Amino acid sequence: MTRSITPLYIPDLSVFAKTLRADLLAADAVPGHLTLLGMLAKAAGYQNYQHLIAAQPAPPPEPPKIDRALRVFDTAGRMKHWPSGTKLQGLCLWVFWSRLPPRAEMTERQVNEVLQNGNLFGDHVLLRRSLIDHRMVERTRDGRIYTRIEQAPPPEALALIRAVAASSDS
């Protein structure tokens, strides 16, 4: 289970300390973790720990994955760097998948040409392997013939493909 961080603002530290001291003196023994959390929340002016949690502002939303993926591409639609995170990598690979011709057999050289033209970090081999690993492209056992695996891209991938194409058109 991930631990959530709960900030605690104490407007008057003196009142907080006095309230907490009184609660600790009233306890029969050293309080446990949850009891202590409740005491801290009450000393800070909340009804209980759950009230403290509920009173916290919502964390800022994480930027949508498509915005993070768009930062990986330049205005010409070329990938500037290999993103960190497998999910983001998989999302970015859909752009290359869309550039491969559907239902066509290609040689390794033809695939490499598409991948080299679409990246600036110079590792088309990484892209080719990743397309295969993410089951977007398949190749024959001897590696001579590559074909794009026809499938419907997820909605996020479609939005990214359109956004990259639109930025490179302008």
Structural domain containing residue 90? 65-169
Same structural domain, 136 and 77: yes
Domain presence at residue 6: no
Q: Same domain, yes or no, for 160 and 116?
A: yes
166 pLDDT more than 80? yes
Q: Residue 3 falls within a domain, yes or no?
A: no
Place of tokens 């500037």: 80
Extended strands (E) in 12-155: 105-106, 137-139, 146-148
pLDDT of residue 25: 86
Q: Are residues 46 and 78 in the same domain?
A: no
Ranking 47-56, 76-85, 136-145 by mean pLDDT, the lowest is 47-56
My answer on whether 75 and 42 are in the same domain is no
> What's the whole-model pTM score?
0.64
> Could you tell me the strand order of the sheet in which 137-139 lies?
105-106, 146-148, 137-139
Q: Are strands 137-139 and 146-148 parallel, antiparallel or unpaired?
A: antiparallel
Predicted local confidence at residue 11, as pLDDT: 83
> Are 43 and 69 part of one and the same domain?
no
Task: Output the six-digit token pair for 56.
Answer: 């916290």
Q: CB of 137 within 8 A of CB of 149?
A: yes
Domain membership of residue 1 (yes or no) is no
Q: Do 71 and 141 reside in the same domain of the chain?
A: yes
